[in-house]
Structure 1
Amino acid sequence: MAKWITVVTAIVLSLVLSVSAFAAPGQSSKGNAPAEGKIQMQGDIGDFVPDEVDDPAHDPAIIRDGNQYIVFSTGILRDTEDPGGIYIRTADKSMANPWESVGEIPAPEWVKEYNPEHLWAPQVVKAQGTFYLYYAVSAFGTNNSAIGVASSKTPADPDSWEDHGPVITSSSGEVDYNAIDPHVFKDNGQWWITFGSHFSGIKLQQLSSMTEAEGEVHTLANRPGVEHNPIEAPTIYEKNGYYYLFTSWDQCCQFLDSTYKIAVGRADNVEGPYYDQDGVPLAEGGGTILLESEGNQVGPGGQDVFFDKGRDYLIHHYYDGDADGVIRMQIRQLVWENDWPQLTE
């Protein structure tokens, strides 16, 4: 009998240990444990070597499809006859695992009327089993711009995307805003798009479908009194009953001379008004700085916020001070203190 009990005990213990291995606290059965802190990025995270390597990581946006993480970014800078399409890279099971560049989504023919040299600032969402990619089309420094949209069932495949043309357009003399830097999100069953860069600031509009916008254009944030109104790249993220508006401030795209930084405010309603941590309205220049240049990471911005495995993350680009300003991407865990986002190391 004692021998039989010992055998049964051993079997039960073995089963318990087996289950624990698959369901350890903080670990998903679909992949690795959630990444923590400032992730040590590996693999193809952005690089440039003239005539050899062009691996663009500007304005990264991230999704997860099953066990695969996918980052979309601004395309390779080429010319107006052959603009660089939105770029894709992937990592399996964990954002801390090595990233691998996949290539670019071909730029559709219609974008050439806006004279872009590449497509910018993508964002991807999933609706009813289909992924939708939103991207910016413009010539640098103008508001003759458009936000385009494409769809796919297999988002990591660059050739799978079907383009649907522009969702929002802007042009000098017709509107005072700039239709670039889209961010799309769902709130209480309604899809919204926020966008904007310089000119008259950050805007918000409803989507009547995943390929059409309609209704009033709301202003969410502005920096009056600051030359060129340097605010762009909006991201709205709902957490604990608040809506957080993340934006990028100041000078982008100047490599190691960039002064880009990430600011945040929050609201009780998606349409605002948004306030910073000191109570200053974002529409009047408010904004609490979340991240600015530190160490070798110069000019962080072009951010996206991402929920995964019970945690919140910020992804952004930066200019690498240890590599002559090469553009790379970084992912960091977001934590919350008194309902305000903080970064961890």
Structure 2
Amino acid sequence: MRRAESVPLAGPFTRIYDPGEGLPDAWYINDHSLIRDYSGSWHLFGITHREPAAPEDERVFAHATAPELHGPWTRRPPCLTADPDYGETHLWAPHVIAHEGVYLMVYAGGGYEPDSAAINLAYSTDLVEWTRRGDGPLFRDGYEARDPMLLWVDDRWVLYYCATEDPAGGHHVVAYRTSVDLEHWSGRRIAFRSDRAGTVGGDTESPFVVRHGRHFYLFVGPCGAYADTEDGYTCTAVYRSDSAYRFTPADIVSRIPAHAAEVVHAEGRSWITHAGWGQGGVHLARLNWSAGLSV
């Protein structure tokens, strides 16, 4: 008998952090990253700005801390500010990992030409003070290459990010590059090619890849044909593959009502986040790995 494969499905979402709480105006968190530090405390980093959405004016990264994943969360001073002398025109989509006793943050620093946008790297020993890589961006790509995330696969690092098939436009893709030392990177390759084409936006934003069982799962959005609908913004598509380097539109197994979703492991369970413009902060739901198909 053929074994049923796992399908990720989200439970109810609960807001865990409101960046505007106690302030005179509402604020948002968009693409973000959650990490537990070496002492056991949780940290949240993310795109932030006063509502309404102003992506070209997103120039600082929010920072908040909590003793537990569900909170209570405390707002901290911004951890990084766009540096024009480094070529940064904005700060988008931080992804933070712990590696060999320090913390690394990959993020989109923008640039003055959308077909040559920078993916940058910063280091920290305490998740408070950050130092940019001295040699400049890790690499540049387009169109407005952004939303990087790091995953260790087999014997190398894989850095996934949102781009277009050609740096000047074309089909939206999840591109990736590989490295063994986080400094020297391969040329770009394509992990996923959408049926949709264009420049800004598209349905390959916020790529996040996790391994569960014998498969890899790509979380990405807004959801394809739903991207232009009222609720398409809060829709993450999930694709399942036996390879970390190859996903196709036919591999879709689930849709989750979330934007800029990140998968977090805590308390022996999987959780999924939701945030974005007009969403009132960061929300969290249990991620259940069910057998079957739900698209």
Measured against the shorter chain, the TM-score band is 0.7 to 0.9
1:286-340: CA deviation from partner (whole Å, max 9, x where unpaired)? x344223xxxxxxx31121111231111112045xxxxx3541111111111387
Pairing 1:168–2:121 present = no
Distance 1:131 1:331 in 2: 23
Out of 72, 75, 87, the residue aligned to residue 45 of structure 2 is 72
Q: Secondary structure at the match of 2:49?
A: coil
Once the two structures are superposed, what CA deviation does each residue of 1:229-261 show, in whole Å capped at 9, x if it has no partner?
Answer: 43211011011121111101259xx9x956321
SS at match of 2:185: strand
Please give the per-residue CA displacement for 1:114-156, whole angstroms capped at 9, x wherever unaligned: 533xx1111101110111011112279934411111111111x
Distance across 2 between alignment mates of 1:148 and 1:95: 27
Q: Does the alignment pair 1:86 with 2:52?
A: no
Distance 2:198 2:140 in 1: 24
The AA in structure 1 aligned to 2:283 is: Q
Kept in 1, the 8 Å contact 2:33–2:96? The answer is yes
Residue 309 of structure 1: aligned partner:
267
- The offset of 1:39, in angstroms, is 5.8
Q: Which moved more, 1:236-245 or 1:217-226?
A: 217-226
Given the alignment of the two structures, is residue 135 of structure 1 paired with residue 107 of structure 2, yes or no? yes
Match of 1:218 in 2: 189
Alpha-carbon shift at residue 61 of structure 1 (Å): 1.2
Cα distance in structure 2, aligned partners of 1:133 and 1:226: 29
Distance in 2 between residues matched to 1:184 and 1:201, nearest whole Å? 17
Q: How does 1:74-223 map to 2 (within 5 A)?
A: 74-76=47-49, 84-92=59-67, 94-110=68-84, 113-116=87-90, 119-138=91-110, 142-155=114-127, 157=128, 160-164=129-133, 165-170=136-141, 177-197=143-163, 199=169, 200-210=172-182, 212-223=183-194
The answer (yes or no) to whether the contact 2:69–2:266 under 8 Å persists in 1 is no
1:61 and 1:340, CA in 2 relative to 1: closer, same or farther beyond 3 A?
farther
SS of aligned partner of 1:237: strand
1:75-119: CA deviation from partner (whole Å, max 9, x where unpaired): 337898x96221111111x22221111121232535663533xx1
Would you say the 8 A contact 1:40–1:96 is kept in 2?
A: no
Change (3 A) 1:40 1:223: closer
C-alpha separation in 2, matches of 1:83 and 1:248: 20
> Cα gap change, 1:46/1:271 in structure 2, threshold over 3 Å: closer, same or farther?
same
Paired letter, 1:59: D
**TM-score, structure 2 normalization:** 0.77
For residues 259 and 83 of structure 1, do their structure 2 counterparts lie closer, same or farther at Cα, with a shift above 3 Å needed?
closer
CA contact (8 A) 1:195 1:233 kept: yes
Task: Please state which structure has a larger fraction of its residues in helix.
Answer: 1
* Percent of aligned positions that are identical: 18
Contact 1:108/1:163, CA 8 A, preserved across alignment: no
Q: Which residue of 2 aligns with 1:332?
A: 285
Q: Do the aligned partners of residues 219 and 328 (structure 1) sit closer, same or farther apart at CA in structure 2, a change above 3 Å counting?
A: same
State the SS of the aligned residue for 1:106: strand
Q: Report the residue type matching 2:195 in the other structure.
A: P
Contact 1:334 1:341 in 2 (8 A): no
SS of equivalent to 1:125: strand
TM-score by length of 1: 0.67
Partners of 1:203 and 1:135 lie apart in 2 by: 15
8 Å contact 2:44–2:64 — kept in the other structure?
yes
Distance in 2, Cα, partners of 1:341 & 1:124? 31
Secondary structure at the aligned position of 1:166 is classed as coil
1:101–1:209 Cα change, 3 Å? same
Deviation at 1:226, TM superposition (A): 5.7
8 A contact 2:163–2:175 mirrored in 1 = no
- Cα gap change, 1:270 to 1:185, in 2 (>3 Å): same
Indicate the SS of the match to 1:60. Answer: strand
Aligned residues: 268
Q: CA RMSD in A?
A: 3.4
Between structures 1 and 2, the one with greater strand share = 2
- Distance, in Å, in 2 between the alignment partners of 1:179 and 1:188 is 25
Q: 1:192 to 1:124 in 2, by over 3 A?
A: same
Provide the C-alpha distance between the structure 1 equivalents of 2:292 and 2:84, rounded to a whole number of angstroms: 43
Q: Which residue of 1 aligns with 2:256?
A: 291
**Offset at residue 197 of structure 1 (A):** 4.0
| Greater than 6 Å deviation, 4+ residue runs | 77-80, 339-342
